[in-house]
Each structure stands twice: as C-alpha cells, then as structure tokens.
Amino acid sequence: MGTKNSAADGDRYVAVFDSAQFTALRRRSNAFIGWASVIFYGWWLLVILLAAFAPDFYRQDLVGPINVGLLAVFLSFNLVVVVASVYMRFARTQLDPLSERIRADLEGGLR
C-alpha cells in the first residue's frame, strides 16, 4: 500500500481554489444565484407588501372561485419551478463544462 502526501494534496487543492478557472466558476455561479435571488425575493416581497397594504386587491374575483390571491400563490409555486429549471439548464451548459475542466486538471484526465 502506498502512502499519500497530504500536504502535497492540500497544496494542490489550494492551488485549484486560487486558480482563474475556479474563480470564473464561482463568479458565474454567484452571478446566477444573485439574479435568481433578486427575482424570487422581489416577487415574494411584492406579494407580501400587496397582502399587507392592499388586501382588497387580492380579493378581486377573476374566474369563478379563483381570485387574485389564489393566482399569486399559484404563480409563486410556478416561479420556484421556473427558477429551478433555469438553474438546472444554466448549470448543465455553463457550470458543468468548466467544473469538468477543473476536475480533469486536478485528477489528471477526463473521466
């Protein structure tokens, strides 16, 4: 059985952490997370503020028993699904190729 030099492995991971590729990966990820958070929390804050300061707005009937409040809840659930779907696509097309290159450099070859 061979022994591994943990100090050399640690230095290698620190070098990857400080690399331009890893910085670009973090920047891309954080940029998406920032915009997705602004959109989601902006919607959430709008819904909460309307409920607090304009409750009659939510009581307006649209079709049959469906009112604006119920539509806002439905749209909130859909927004979660849309944000998750867009993130999955973004990760698959933008983050995964870069992370695979970083992994290949770290491990010495593609899987």
pLDDT for residue 101 = 92
Please give the C-alpha separations between residue 70 and each of 12, 84, 91, in angstroms, as whole numbers. Answer: 53, 22, 32
Residue 25: count of CB within 10 angstroms of its CB: 19
**Tens digit of each residue's pLDDT (9 = 90 or more) over 38-91:** 999 999 999 999 999 999 999 999 998 999 999 999 999 999 999 999 999 999
In 3D space, the residue among 65, 68, 64 whose CA is nearest the CA of residue 55 turns out to be 68
- Residue 6: pLDDT over 70: no
Given pLDDT bands bounded at 50, 70 and 90, which one contains residue 8?
Answer: low
- Residue 93: pLDDT over 70: yes
pTM for the full predicted model: 0.76
CA distance 86 to 24: 20
Question: Within 13 Å of residue 40, how many CA atoms lie on the same side as its CB?
Answer: 16
